[in-house]
């Protein structure tokens, strides 16, 4: 059974899964997250590359993976060349949607909400230089919101006071902000409530899904018509994840298993 692998440090990549499922509802998916090393924004570069390449390669060796999605902005800014040299299948990364934000903005004052690591990366600053040279770009890096997205999917209420505090540099200043971390679309409703209708909130999810469709067609890969449940693996020992497993079941996933050793 041919599967698409979606990989992230945590559960943020499920926001990408939802977009992929919209355009490829029959496609079987393997979801893997490296929660043992979460959050990726706090890892040194070499360790991050080693972990992503090791875990993704191990899963590809055990399953019939036809395409890999690195559903993590922090990882995508570093690991894509390494993974593409290791694998013979397409590898799709996540790029902050700076270009569409710059195009859609009327005030030419846009925001980027990402992890501190993504905000620091020269890759991110090059995107701004290339696609938003005429814009003022306010960048905010937050690890707290990554944790908040993880918690929300496990049933923890969103701390709207903390969220408003993190978003304060954007309020009444930007007319478009980019969610540059796949965890943040999990909080999109709350973010939109705080920023108001005058601020457009965008992410890369639909663009990634469309890219996957194109690559599968180019490779003449048919979607899997199996009714088998999607698989999900975590790197840390499987603990009490009852709330998360309930959410995953709603999305068509089996119970979380331990990832293959890498």
Report the binding-site residues. 8-9, 40-41, 73-74, 182-183
Query: What token pair was written down for 140?
Result: 């905010």
Q: What Cα–Cα distance (Å) separates residue 161 from each residue in 108, 164, 175, 194?
A: 28, 5, 21, 10
State how far the Cα of 91 lies from the Cα of 17, in Å rounded to an integer.
Answer: 15
Strand order in the sheet with 28-33: 91-92, 65-70, 3-8, 28-33, 231-234, 257-258
Q: Is residue 176 flagged as an active site residue?
A: no
Which listed residue (60, 135, 176, 181) is catalytic?
181
Strands 65-70 and 91-92 come out as: parallel
Q: Are 83 and 56 in contact (CB under 8 A)?
A: yes
Catalytic residue among 72, 135, 176, 199: 72
Task: Give, in order, the Cα–Cα distances in Å from 8 to each of 1, 209, 224.
Answer: 22, 16, 22
Distance from C-alpha of 66 to C-alpha of 71, rounded to nearest angstrom: 16
Q: Which string of b and e fits 12-50 if b means at least 16 CB within 10 Å?
A: bbbbbbebbbeebeebbbbbbbbbebbbbbebeeeebbb
What is the separation of C-alpha 149 from the centre of its chain, rounded to a whole number of angstroms?
11
Q: Which two structure tokens, joined as six digits, stand for 108? A: 């030419």
CB 70, CB 80: distance < 8 Å: yes
Binding-site positions for substrate? 8-9, 40-41, 73-74, 182-183
Decide if 72 is catalytic.
Answer: yes
- Catalytic residue list: 72, 181
């Amino acid at each position: 059974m041919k599967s698409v692998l979606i990989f992230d440090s945590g559960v943020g990549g499920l926001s990408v899964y939802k977009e992929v499922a919209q355009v490829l509802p029959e496609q079987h998916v393997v979801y893997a997250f490296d929660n043992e090393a979460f959050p990726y924004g706090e890892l040194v570069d070499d360790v991050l590359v080693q972990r992503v390449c090791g875990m993704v390669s191990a899963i590809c060796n055990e399953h019939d993976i036809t395409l890999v999605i690195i559903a993590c902005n922090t990882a995508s800014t570093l690991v894509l060349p390494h993974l593409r040299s290791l694998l013979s299948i397409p590898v799709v990364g996540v790029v902050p949607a700076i270009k569409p934000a710059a195009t859609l903005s009327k005030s030419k004052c846009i925001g980027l909400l990402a992890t501190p690591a993504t905000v620091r990366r020269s890759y991110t600053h090059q995107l701004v230089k290339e696609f938003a040279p005429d814009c003022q770009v306010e960048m905010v890096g937050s690890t707290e919101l990554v944790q908040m997205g993880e918690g929300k999917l496990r049933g923890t209420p969103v701390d709207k006071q903390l969220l408003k505090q993190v978003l304060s540099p954007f309020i009444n200043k930007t007319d478009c902000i980019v969610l540059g971390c796949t965890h943040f679309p999990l909080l999109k409703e709350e973010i939109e409530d705080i920023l108001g209708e005058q601020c457009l909130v965008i992410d890369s999810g639909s663009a990634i899904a469309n890219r996957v469709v194109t690559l599968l067609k180019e490779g003449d890969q048919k979607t899997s018509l199996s009714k088998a449940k999607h698989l999900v693996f975590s790197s840390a020992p499987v603990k009490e994840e009852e709330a998360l497993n309930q959410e995953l079941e709603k999305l068509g996933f089996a119970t979380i298993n331990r990832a293959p050793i890498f």
